[in-house]
Amino acid sequence: MNWFPNYTCMACGCEIQASSNAYLCPTCMNNLPIMTEKQTTHYAPFFYEEPIRTMILKLKYASNGFIAKALSPYLAAVYLQHIAQQFSQAPIIVPVPLHRSRYHERGYNQSAVLATELASYLHLTVISDALVRHKKTTIQKHMDTATRAANIKGAFIANPTQLDHIKKQNILLLDDVYTTGATTHECVTTLRRAGAKQIVILTIASVD
Ligand SMILES: [Zn+2]
């Protein structure tokens, strides 16, 4: 009889030994697409490839909070290695928001959940509603770079009730995936207009 609970790999779903104390099976663990490119405009611990791709999809659509917990140490490592020294003072973490109708559909903003995990890991403050997505944009998956930028333009506003907490602050902008950068750069523009000082983009995965 097996007295141990069964654990499954967060990415491929295969069974893993309870005693291994891991959340990924050895195959997925060995295949993590660790970022190898030198990054300057945005930072990510991983390329957007398997098994990270599946983990992000599960985080997004299955409200899997364990995945945010499992990924936050990797975000923290990139922050400490490449980003922390760029800030003159500790940043506040701002997640890229969903439009409220999409939030109601999912009941969950994956970037906000990641932000909360990372903030507790790094002892930083998170302001989940610093940005508001007031324009409902169409899904961007199949758009080219120029169309994405036009689609997202003017989609965000700085939350009027949070302006005092944004002004002259350094900001770590957090999202799940960096694709063309259209979304995050629109957020950067919005935060800058609201008086934010230094802004650095951090995502779990980046396509390049
Ligand atoms: Zn696996």
Mean pLDDT, contiguous 10-residue spans, the chain (208 residues): 68 82 87 94 97 93 82 96 96 92 82 94 96 80 80 92 96 95 95 98 95
From CA 5, how far away is CA 206, in angstroms rounded? 35
Cα-Cα-Cα-Cα dihedral sign, residues 22, 23, 25, 30: negative
Break the chain into its structural domains and give their ranges.
1-28, 32-206
Ligand 1 centroid, distance to 114 Cα (angstroms):
21
Ligand 1 centroid, distance to 67 Cα (angstroms):
13
Instruction: Answer for the pair 7, 165: CB distance below 8 angstroms, yes or no.
Output: no
Ligand 1 centroid, distance to 131 Cα (angstroms):
35
Ligand 1 centroid, distance to 174 Cα (angstroms):
26
Report the length, in residues, of the chain: 208
Ligand 1 centroid, distance to 42 Cα (angstroms):
28
pLDDT score of 22: 77
> What protein residues have CB closer than 5 angstroms to ion ligand 1?
9, 11-12, 25, 28
Ligand 1 centroid, distance to 22 Cα (angstroms):
10
Q: For residue 32, what are its two tokens?
A: 């993590």
Running DSSP on this structure, what letter comes out for residue 149? H
Ligand 1 centroid, distance to 33 Cα (angstroms):
13
Q: For residue 33, what are its two tokens?
A: 């697409």
3 state DSSP class of 11: coil
CATH code of 32-206, in short, is: 3.40.50.2020
Ligand 1 centroid, distance to 15 Cα (angstroms):
8
Ligand 1 centroid, distance to 184 Cα (angstroms):
30
Ligand 1 centroid, distance to 12 Cα (angstroms):
4
H-type alpha helices, 47-206: 52-61, 65-78, 100-106, 110-122, 145-152, 163-166, 182-193
